[in-house]
Structure 1
């Protein structure tokens, strides 16, 4: 049986510095709960089979969507990205802290393999 403990999100954020590299802090019903620090631009990508949920803990996450729409999501807000939707997250130069909730099968940059692709996620 899994040990039950509360998780201090800000304490977990203090355990890593690397940007655009999610760290797993828990799992729930086949979903990973991940924390990630973001700054500046990321790559266009999509997730063919999985929806993603972005919970902005601190800062403003900006998301470009391939249809030309741009969405700003601020601290305390969430953004749900439907599966198959091509998107590009970025920030306005500030470091943004987000929690990601997505299926364990979600590949970080979808089927796209680029230098920013993280193949093996670490638990913290």
Structure 2
């Protein structure tokens, strides 16, 4: 049993790459991850799982089909339903917390996904 809390600020200070999530904890078969993002990510979807985004710092936009955009500020979250194409983006660097089933490719495709990194 782990008895230490996870300090997200400390974990975020350990890397600088954008769009390269880091797993900071595991929960019932899910990875709890943090990521730094800036610019646009590719349009993608996840056929078998929802996509959870919680903004820790900055402003994040989630583009959805039909010219719909969801704006998320710190402390706000959004869940993209499985199978829905989406594109996260941030004009300035933003920090997010993600929860995904362990092994879920962040790009929706194993061939283009970032590798799983645990910190």
Shorter-normalised TM-score: what interval?
over 0.9
Q: CA deviation at 1:25?
A: 0.2
> Partners in 2 of 1:111 and 1:12 — Cα distance?
26
Q: Stretches of 4+ moved more than 3 A in 1?
A: none
Q: CA deviation at 1:121?
A: 1.2
Match in the other structure for 1:58: 57
Unaligned runs of 5+ in 1: none
> Partners in 2 of 1:102 and 1:64 — Cα distance?
19
**Partner SS state of residue 90, structure 1:** strand
CA offset digits 1:23-54 (Å, max 9, x no partner): 00001011110000000111000000011211
CA offset digits 1:54-92 (Å, max 9, x no partner): 110000110111232111010010011111010001112
> Partners in 2 of 1:111 and 1:22 — Cα distance?
15
TM-score (norm 2): 0.94
CA RMSD of aligned residues (A): 1.3
Match in the other structure for 1:121: 116
Q: CA deviation at 1:111?
A: 2.4
Q: How does 1:71-90 map to 2 (within 5 A)?
A: 71-90=70-89
> Partners in 2 of 1:113 and 1:71 — Cα distance?
28
Unaligned runs of 5+ in 2: none
CA offset digits 1:81-111 (Å, max 9, x no partner): 111010001112x100000011113111012
TM-score (norm 1): 0.90
Q: CA deviation at 1:113?
A: 4.0
**Which sits farther off after the overlay, 25-34 or 99-108?**
99-108
> Partners in 2 of 1:111 and 1:39 — Cα distance?
21
Q: CA contact under 8 A between 1:45 and 1:112: conserved in structure 2?
A: no
Q: Which has the higher strand share?
A: 2
